[in-house]
Structure formats: structure tokens, C-alpha cells
Amino acid sequence: MNIAPDHHLIMARLKRLDSAYQVSPLSSAPKLAAHLGVAEIHLKDESRRPLGSFKSLGGTFAGLEAIATGGETVRLLVCASDGNHGLAVASAARHTGIPAKVFLHSEVARARVNRIEQTGAQVVIVPGTFDDAVNAAAHAAKSDGAVLVADTSDNENDVMTGHVMAGYGVIAGEAREQYAQQNFQKPTHLFIQAGVGGLAAAMARGLYSFMEAPGIVVVVEPANAACVQVAMELGYPETISGELRTCASMLSCGRASAPALRILQASKARTITVSEEQLMAAPALLAQTGAIATTPSGGAGLAGLTRALASPVIRQDLGLNSASRVLLVVSEGPQE
């Protein structure tokens, strides 16, 4: 597993663009831990980032890298998105005076479309799924002067997807320091949501060797869009069938990212799927016990933990018990 980039350098780069980039809080949730019957739960709240989600780290940093590397030859940033990645890439483009074109699938909520358009980016709605938008963006990026800022790739060594995951890795780097600063005991488990797997891989890369025994990374996906689970089982990405419809709209992806899969394999990650009912219940439980507002996508890690704890078989397989200390990432704030 390759070494995570220095998160301080990435954050310094982002702060030069926008002073609003600050460390996101890591807090203890004792009521939630007591409710679920584990020793500790810590919440990394990415809703406090600029743009309201963790995607502001990856898409923005990768967009800046694309412009810095390409120089005057870069005349357009192109990406596909479920919403948040496109907003981040569009934000990088706006701050640097470069146009952006964002491809969204037809199920993306109008509120997310509006936010992207408000940056000045051109939005293209593609019939079908997120994966159809990915293909459309890749085709559009073949034009002269266009650069594809992709958060997923079939190429394990894709540079741009690597930049996106490096941005996400800021979260893990901050968490390591916060555990020490706040005298928290290190986590024994990380439950982390996945669309194509980029966030999960970045967190696994940054925390796998940091966690205490049993030190298990659990990737959580909607049962209707479990592309990472399929890829982990097969050993390579494969497009899954179905409409991929889920209330966790940011996780509605049909093909895992190869660079992410490589890292998740190296960190011996496990996978778990959750139902729509479990996804819908997570934000309400989080609000009641952790005082953080989010969406089904943002609370999917909690949905996975809740499902695991409810099953004696899964509990035993993951080494979950009353002494477990769990880290969850609240990946986005509520959407209008």
C-alpha cells in the first residue's frame, strides 16, 4: 500500500485558494456509543468543510493540480459527478478563471445541479446512471485543451484520481493528529461509506496502520449499488447491473475505482451492504445522539455499524464488542 501524501502540504495549497479550508472537527459521541453498545464512537464532521462535504478536498485539489501541471494549455476542466465532486472541480475552475463542464446523470437532485451552475460551470445532464456520466465526461475530455478531473479510473496508476484521493487523505491525516491532541484512544474499527471507493481508500491508507487491534476497515455501501463489494470479491472492478437507485444518492455508483480497490485490498478491508431503511434511519439517529445533521449518504457509515452490531454473525466476524472504538466520517451536510 503506497504511503499517504503529507496532508499539511495539501491543506496549505487549499488555504491559499480559500482561507475557509480548516481542520474539520473530530468529536466524541458518547450517547451514540451507549445506544449502540460500544465503548466509543468518534465522528469526523466533513459537513463543516467548504462546499459542505469532503469532496471539496479531493476535487478542488485535483483541479488545482491539473491547472498547475498543464499551465496555459489547460482551457477547460471536465468531470463526471453525483453532485459534490462536480461542485468541487467547478469551484477550483472558478477560482483560477478556467471554465468547467460537469456531467451529471439524470437522477441528480435539482438543488445539487443549481449549486454547480451557480459557480459558472456548464452542466450537462446525461440519461442513465453515474457510470454513463463518467463515460460522457471521458469522451468530452478528448477535446483540445480539456483536462479530465476524474475521481474514478480503471487505471490503477491514474494520476488525476490519485490527486483526488490525496485530497481526501487530509481527513485521515487530521484524524491521526486529533486523536493524540484530544487524548482519544485509537480506533479499533473504521466504518466508511463508498461510492466508487475513493474516500474509503484514502481513509484506509491513512489509518490502517494507525488503528489498534483488531484494526478493521469496513466499507459500507447501499445494497442497490454495491460495486466495491463486487470488486473486492472478484479482485477487479466490474460494472454491476441495475438502476443503482438509492436514497444515498452520493453513493449511487456501478463500478469501483481501480486505484481505490488496490488500496482497499492492501488494507484487508471488509465490505457490508445496508438497506434503504437502514440508510434513511442513520441521519435521524445521528441527529438525536450526535447533534450532527447529514444525509443518508453522509450517515452511511453509521448505517453499516448499526447493521453489523445487530447481527451476531457479523459482530463476531468483525471483532465488534462492548470494548470497540469506532471512527465514522460524516461525509456531507444536509442538502436543500
Collect the ranges in the chain with pLDDT lower than 50. none
10 Å Cβ neighbour count for 188? Answer: 23
The answer on 296 and 191 residing in a single domain is yes
pTM strictly above 0.85? yes
Q: Are residues 59 and 179 in the same domain?
A: no
Cα–Cα distance between 11 and 173 in angstroms, integer? 10
Instruction: Please give the span between the terminal C-alpha atoms of the chain, in angstroms, as a whole number.
Output: 38
- What is the SS3 assignment for 53? strand
| Same domain, residue pair 210 and 181 | yes
C-alpha–C-alpha distance, residues 167 and 11, integer Å: 8
Q: Which domain-ending residue is among 101, 131, 157?
A: 157
Inter-residue contact 26 to 174 (CB < 8 Å):
yes
Same domain, 264 and 177: yes
Residues 32 and 70 in one domain: no
**For 71-89, what is each residue's pLDDT tens digit?**
889 999 999 998 889 999 9
Domain count within the chain:
2
In a domain, residue 1? The reply is no
Residue given cell 489498534 in the structure block? 212
321 and 255 inside one domain: yes
335 in any annotated domain: no
Check whether residue 179 and residue 213 sit in a common domain: yes
Q: Amino acid identity of 49?
A: R
- Residue 20: alpha-carbon gap to chain centroid: 20
Residue 327 has what pLDDT? Answer: 98
For residue 23, give the CATH number of its domain.
Answer: 3.40.50.1100
In a domain, 173, yes or no: yes
DSSP one-letter code for 19: T
- Locate the DSSP E strands across 82-160: 100-105, 122-126, 146-148
Q: Are 190 and 310 within one domain?
A: yes
Domain membership of residue 2 (yes or no) is: no
Q: Which domain holds residue 48?
A: 7-53+161-330
**20, part of any domain:** yes
pLDDT of residue 2: 65
Cα–Cα distance, 217 to 203 (Å, whole number): 9
Residue 30 pLDDT: 97
Clarify whether residues 37 and 143 are in a common domain. no
Are 136 and 169 part of one and the same domain? no
Do 225 and 151 lie in a common domain?
no
- CA atoms of 121 and 104, how far apart (whole Å): 12
**Distance (Å, rounded) from C-alpha 170 to C-alpha 289?**
26
Of 157, 191, 210, which marks where a domain is finished? 157
Residues 212 and 272 reside in one and the same domain: yes
